[in-house]
Amino acid sequence: MDIVLDRKELTKYPFLKESQQLASQHVESLEAFLASSAGNVALERAKERIIAALRFRRDFQDDAARGPAPELEIASYALARIIVSCIGDRSLIDRLARYESDRSSFFLAAEEPEVRRFVALRLQIDPDARSMPVTDYVELAARLRDNRWRLVNRDVNQGVVGVEPGEIDELIRERIRTIVADNLPLRVPGGICETLAAVASEITALQQQQALEEFGEIREEAFPPCIASLLQALTAGTNLTHMGRFAITSFLHTIGMNIAQIAEIFAQAPDFDPDMTMYQVEHISGRGGTEYTPPSCITMRTFGLCVNRDK
């Protein structure tokens, strides 16, 4: 049986080709759209999406019902990707991608089997499969951090990897995340970013305020000089050595910061990779079974990280 999602249903899955086609029918040019009343509605909804992602909101129950017209709801998804691209913060991009994947996965879990199958197949995943080619599996599971996803821990037979029903749902969520994050940050024309500057500034201010609320104000004067120096280098946009990252992570974990808070600090590094950073922070913080303590002064001196030795 052929499945055709109606306009309202398409708002749940704005990344689908059919959803994008619906939105594009109402947007002749981005500049003109942003200057219109409909564009203002979509822009406001895009801002709501980003703020929800920033604050880890996951209450999607009435999300589809209370949104604007379907074409504007879908357009707001595209605008949200453009706004975070103008801001250029990789941590914010990662949060938006995870928010959108969680949102669509929430709706997908409640769908009739034929609709769920339709969407999953559009994502090139068979929702009823109990195995998949190893190449497909590796592509999907590469950024999933739990050890059970590692290929060495899987049942692999003649180039095929076994998967459980619940794991298929997780792989679908991950596929959506990668689709949302694909090519972000986008190369957005300067004029568009100027038009969106007020919204981008508002979101950036909220992000900074949330960081203060979550982390508290970091009093570097109370830290050992070596840690304060590493934090200063990080906030200045310097890529730290492996030992430098280890020292900061283990120290901040020891004083009580949680994994998400520590990972957020590393978002300021030029080479920031959200998934790799989260994996490393979780590992050092004990997720793998071994909780590491900060390196000793002797070790810091050995790696050239000791500063103000007399303090």
Q: Are 38 and 185 in the same domain?
A: yes
DSSP class of residue 59 equals -
Is 213 inside any structural domain? no
In angstroms, rounded to a whole number, what is the distance separating the alpha carbons of residues 120 and 108?
9
Q: Are 176 and 257 in the same domain?
A: no
Residue span of the structural domain in which 276 resides: 221-302
Amino acid 65: pLDDT: 63
From 197, 213, 238, the end of a domain falls on 197
Return the exposure string of 150-184: e unless at least 16 CB atoms fall within 10 Å of the residue's CB, then b: eeeebeeeeebbebeeebbbbbbbbbbbeebbeeb
**pLDDT tens, the chain, 311 aa long:** 578 899 999 999 999 999 999 999 988 899 999 999 999 999 999 999 999 998 888 888 666 567 789 999 999 999 999 999 999 888 889 889 999 999 999 999 999 999 999 999 999 999 999 999 999 999 999 888 788 898 999 999 999 999 998 899 999 999 999 999 988 999 999 999 999 999 999 999 988 787 666 656 556 667 888 988 888 888 778 888 999 999 999 888 888 777 777 888 888 788 888 888 888 888 888 766 677 888 888 888 898 889 876 65
Is 2 inside any structural domain? no
Is 308 inside any structural domain? no
Tally of structural domains, the chain: 2
Amino acid 266: pLDDT: 85
In angstroms, rounded to a whole number, what is the distance separating the alpha carbons of residues 26 and 192?
18
Q: Are 254 and 123 in the same domain?
A: no
From 135, 164, 197, the end of a domain falls on 197
Please report, for the domain that includes residue 54, its CATH number: 1.20.930
Q: Backbone dihedral region of 289: left (phi > 0), alpha (psi from -120 to 50 degrees) or beta?
A: left
Is 37 inside any structural domain? yes
Is 202 inside any structural domain? no
Is 215 inside any structural domain? no
